[in-house]
Amino acid sequence: MSDRLFIFDTTLRDGEQVPGCQLNSIEKIQVARALEELGVDVIEAGFPVSSPGDFNSVVEISKAVTWPTICALTRAVEKDIDVAAEALKFAKRGRIHTGIGTSDYHIRYKFNSNQEEILERAIAATKYAKRYVEDIEFYCEDAGRTDNAYLARVVEAVIKAGATVVNIPDTTGYCLPDEYGAKIKYLMEHVDGIQNAIISTHCHNDLGMATANTVQGVLNGARQVEVTINGIGERAGNTSLEEVAMIFRSHKERGIETNINTTKIYGISRMVSSLMNMPIQPNKAIVGRNAFAHSSGIHQDGVLKNRESYEIIDPKDVGIDDNAIVLTARSGRAALKHRLSVLGVELSQEKLDKVYEEFLKLADRKKDINDDDVLMLAGKDRTAMHRIKLDYLQVTSGVGLQSVASVCLDIAGEKFEAAASGNGPVDAAIKAVKSIIHRTMTIQEFLIQAINKGSDDMGKVHMQVEYDGNNYYGFAANTDIIAASVEAFIDAINKFVK
Ligand SMILES: CC(=O)SCCNC(=O)CCNC(=O)[C@H](O)C(C)(C)COP(=O)(O)OP(=O)(O)OC[C@H]1O[C@@H](n2cnc3c(N)ncnc32)[C@H](O)[C@@H]1OP(=O)(O)O
Ligand SMILES: CC(C)C(=O)C(=O)O
Ligand SMILES: [Mg+2]
């Protein structure tokens, strides 16, 4: 029998506290709907007393979302609780999340108070919130640095006062995993009435231990975890939802189940990153660009033989189409052969060895080896299937001269000629091609690179052409860089002229 772990997402509250990550109501609704689809149990939608905008977002999210509980944060202050209750009035299931700092740091310096007074304020706030909604969560802020015996007294008192969930935040990310786990265990064993409430974790990542602490909390009895997409949150962030969901999915033997549809993880991760303008570090677990990318030969060989040699998660389980075999100077023949085979090229071992030698020379100079590079090294003519081909090109250019180009295109076996002048030889040749093709196309990017050193070098051209609202990519390599430019342009055109 598995135990159900409730997922409380606070991307829109703790996550949104991060400088530069503020969202407007429309964006918050978009994220809230995606969280609902992902299968979270609770969405912490905001801190309504903090501003009219945040109040309005909680109202609108409450209307937009159907089944997850909508939670609003407050201080242990009556006005905050009144405003939160008002903001939650459209929620099908509303929760008020109130609380106060319980560590000596908070009691002495933030509140200039003492433990008994804080205990009274905690009870009063819980009772006050209970007048509005049944579901009350109480947070003991800085519980990570709160003495366990006092913490147990507060937890017991707020459960008696009506709290349905008690949150034990490691607000400053200070705890070690065994220490945090022991804290939860202590509460499970010492609080009278603990069975009447769910214990929640809320861990920050200041020492990079948010996820480890959360897991220890769960293994010692917590049944709700407070998490964010991509681990976004105050300072170094919160525990990331995707990590917790995948940890318990990967370790079924621990008997913990969530309602998360993990195949939605990657999509919402990208959405949050782009709406909040918060890039994801490439090596971020589960959702980083490199999380399923293999770039060294021994790993690539192992993965190609059996994915599980180097992958503990199937990328499809988190909504990523496939893993990536990235070709670099650390790749071996197995990876090169695989990429060529995906591109429809099969080589004998002898030819593969030769191409591999050239590949290594190129990869030492160029970090990113793409399909076009690989095909070029294998000596494959990518243009064989093209409908439009460059038949001939003649250009006059020089200092003090107007550049003029004449081109002839072979379009499905028929020849078309044109000439044009331009601002340089490439411009003249491109204009001549355009006068034959008659479509509105714009060159968005144009990159010329040398492959080797020396004046007899091949020039490689990458071009991005915009047509009818879409971007098409063209590539060509030639010792004549003007010819390479025109060929790259024609390569891009062949992608939309069928
Ligand atoms: C750990 C966390 O993430 S907690 C959530 C953090 N999020 C936020 O703070 C965002 C929203 N905050 C806000 O919009 C504002 O801070 C408000 C509206 C809550 C309060 O604004 P102000 O009235 O101007 O107070 P200010 O922010 O300067 O100071 C906070 C006050 O709340 C008190 N306070 C802080 N936490 C609590 C609490 N849990 N319960 C009761 N009082 C609290 C502080 O002691 C301080 O009171 P004081 O001025 O009497 O010393
Ligand atoms: C408001 C509380 C739950 C919080 O965010 C924290 O303690 O980190
Ligand atoms: Mg927090």
- Determine contact, residues 56/25, Cβ cutoff 8 Å: yes
pLDDT tens figures, 262-311? 999 999 999 999 999 899 999 999 999 999 999 889 999 999 999 999 99
Q: Which ligand is nearest to the CA of 22?
A: 1
Q: Whose CA is nearest to atom 8 of ligand 2?
A: 171
Work out the mean pLDDT of the chain and round it to a whole number.
94
Q: Is the ipTM of this complex over 0.90?
A: yes
pLDDT tens figures, 297-353? 999 999 999 999 999 999 999 999 888 899 999 999 999 999 998 877 899 999 999
68 vs 369, which has greater pLDDT? 68
User: pLDDT category, 457, cuts 50, 70, 90?
Assistant: low
Instruction: Kindly state the percentage of the chain with pLDDT values over 90.
Output: 84
At residue 222, the pLDDT reads: 98
Any binding-site annotation on 238?
A: yes
Q: Whose CA is nearest to atom 2 of ligand 2?
A: 141
Structural element, H or E, at residue 57: helix 52-64
Q: Whose CA is nearest to atom 3 of ligand 2?
A: 139
Any binding-site annotation on 438?
A: no
Q: Cβ neighbours of residue 261 under 8 Å, at least 6 residues apart?
A: 37, 38, 39
71, burial (CB in 10 Å: exposed 0-12, middle 13-18, buried 19+): buried
107 CA distance to ligand 2 middle (Å): 15
Report CA 492 to chain centroid distance, whole Å: 30
Amino acid identity at 355: V
User: 171 CB less than 6 Å from ligand 2?
Assistant: yes
At residue 342, the pLDDT reads: 83
- For the stretch 306-312, contacts whose Cβ atoms lie closer than 8 Å and that sit 24 or more positions apart, written own/partner, are 312/250
Over residues 242-254, mean pLDDT: 98
User: Which range (57-61, 155-159, 201-205, 372-376) has the least confidence?
Assistant: 372-376
Q: Cβ neighbours of residue 354 under 8 Å, at least 6 residues apart?
A: none
Tell me how far apart the alpha carbons of residues 140 and 149 are, in angstroms, rounded to a whole number: 13
Closest ligand 2 atom to 204 CA: 8
76 CA distance to ligand 1 middle (Å): 10
Q: Whose CA is nearest to atom 7 of ligand 2?
A: 171
Closest ligand 2 atom to 167 CA: 3
pLDDT tens figures, 7-46? 999 999 999 999 989 999 999 999 999 999 999 999 999 9
Tell me how far apart the alpha carbons of residues 237 and 223 are, in angstroms, rounded to a whole number: 21
Res 466 pLDDT > 90 = yes
At residue 382, the pLDDT reads: 67
pTM given for the model: 0.80
At residue 451, the pLDDT reads: 63
Tell me how far apart the alpha carbons of residues 288 and 266 are, in angstroms, rounded to a whole number: 9
pLDDT tens figures, 81-127? 999 999 999 999 999 999 999 999 999 999 999 999 999 999 999 99
Over residues 59-74, mean pLDDT: 98
258 CA distance to ligand 2 middle (Å): 22
Res 210 pLDDT > 80 = yes
Mutate to test the pocket of ligand 1, among 12, 16, 44, 50 (most ligand atoms within 8 A of CB): 50
Any binding-site annotation on 213?
A: no
User: 47 CB less than 6 Å from ligand 1?
Assistant: yes
Closest ligand 2 atom to 169 CA: 7
Any binding-site annotation on 204?
A: yes
Mutate to test the pocket of ligand 1, among 75, 126, 158 (most ligand atoms within 8 A of CB): 75
- Cα Dmax for the chain: 93
User: pLDDT category, 494, cuts 50, 70, 90?
Assistant: very high
Q: Whose CA is nearest to atom 5 of ligand 2?
A: 14
Tell me how far apart the alpha carbons of residues 264 and 103 are, in angstroms, rounded to a whole number: 38
Count CA atoms closer than 13 A to 92's CA, side-chain side.
10
Q: Cβ neighbours of residue 308 under 8 Å, at least 6 residues apart?
A: none
